[in-house]
């Protein structure tokens, strides 16, 4: 059995937060309809962002597989991943999720999703990223502290 100190203390896995944001955004749009976004240009920008998000996501997953460490936050990290996109951002998977959120809002023509994305990431930062960073600092010590100083949280 995995001890609670061996994994980040995160209530829900990251995709659950994403789904909660989607439900809240669509609910807000139902209750308080807004103007439409820019039509075809917004859709095109959304598709471009979605493709970019997917590329970053897959690059990140490959980096975890190459390092032979679990991607799932409910499993202990075997090693610290610093290759691939992790050279440029400490959270490429979450960056890809942020891009995907904006892409989804643009393609679905949902202004509330776009407007609530910053609030979502403030909550996500507190509930997922900070506990995850605390865990990684405890797990990898000085090595992670040096990495944090060298690589930005986002970009």
For the chain, which residues make up each domain, given as ranges?
41-70+79-155
Q: Is residue 33 pLDDT above 70, yes or no?
A: yes
Reported for 82-86, long-range contacts at CB under 8 A and 24+ positions apart, including other chains, are: 82/147, 82/151, 84/59, 84/60, 85/56, 85/59, 85/60, 86/60, 86/151
Return d(Cα 105, Cα 130) in angstroms, integer. 26
Interior CA angle at 112 toward 37 and 96, to 5°?
85
**pLDDT confidence of residue 3:** 57
Cβ 86 vs Cβ 155: under 8 Å: no
Q: Which helix (H) or strand (E) holds 145?
A: helix 142-150
pLDDT by residue (tens digit) across 65-103? 999 998 887 788 899 999 999 999 999 999 999 999 999
How many angstroms separate the most distant Cα atoms in the chain? Answer: 51
Q: Between residues 57 and 30, which one has the greater pLDDT?
A: 57
**pTM for the full model?**
0.88
Q: In this prediction, what percent of the chain has a pLDDT beyond 70?
A: 95
């Amino acid at each position: 059995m995995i001890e609670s100190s061996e994994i980040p203390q995160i209530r829900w896995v990251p995709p659950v937060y994403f789904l909660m944001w989607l439900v809240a955004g669509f609910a807000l749009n139902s209750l308080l309809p807004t103007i439409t976004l820019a039509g075809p240009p917004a859709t095109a920008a959304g598709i471009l962002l979605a493709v970019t998000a997917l590329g970053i996501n897959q690059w990140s997953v490959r980096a975890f597989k190459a390092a032979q460490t679990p991607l799932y936050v409910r499993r202990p990290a075997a090693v610290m991943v610093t290759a691939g996109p992790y050279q440029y951002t400490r959270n490429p998977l979450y960056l890809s999720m942020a891009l995907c959120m904006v892409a989804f809002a643009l393609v679905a023509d949902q202004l509330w999703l776009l407007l609530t994305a910053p609030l979502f990431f403030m909550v996500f930062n507190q509930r997922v990223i900070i506990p995850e960073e605390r865990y990684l600092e405890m797990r990898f010590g000085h090595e992670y502290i040096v990495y944090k100083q060298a690589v930005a949280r986002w970009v």
